[in-house]
Amino acid sequence: MNTAVITAKTDIYTKRDAQKLAQDLGLPLSSVVNALLKQFVRTKSLNLSLDEGLQLSDWAEKNLKQSKNDLDNGDYYEFDNIDDAVSFLDHSNLEKLDL
C-alpha cells in the first residue's frame, strides 16, 4: 500500500486522550485517523458532536442567532460563482458590514 505522512498539530491533552481511547479499543491511533479521513472523503461531510458539558461562547451564540435570523429573513447575499462573490467583496463598502 502506498502511504503518505500527514502532520497535524493538536494540544498534548487531546493527543494523549485519543491515544488512550484508541489503545483501549485495541487500535493504533493512525488507524482511527485513517478511518475518519476515509469516512470524510466517502461522505463528503464531517459529523461532529459536542459533549453535553460544552457550550458556545456568548459571542458565538449571539452571532449564530443573528445568522439564523438573517437567513430566515432573506437578509444575505447569494452568488452563482466564486468570482461574483470576490467581486462583491472587492467593490463593497466593507465598513458598512458589522464584522
pLDDT in tens, 38-48: 999 999 998 87
Examine the pLDDT at 95 and tell me if it is beyond 70.
no
Q: Please write the tens of the pLDDT for every residue from 54-85.
A: 777 899 999 999 999 999 999 988 999 999 88
Examine the pLDDT at 34 and tell me if it is beyond 70.
yes
Average of per-residue pLDDT values in the chain:
87
Q: Is the dihedral of CA 25, 31, 32, 38 positive or negative?
A: negative
Measured in degrees and rounded to the nearest 5, phi and psi for residue 14 equal -65, -45
**Per-residue confidence band for 31, with pLDDT thresholds at 50, 70 and 90:** very high
- pLDDT reported for residue 96: 60
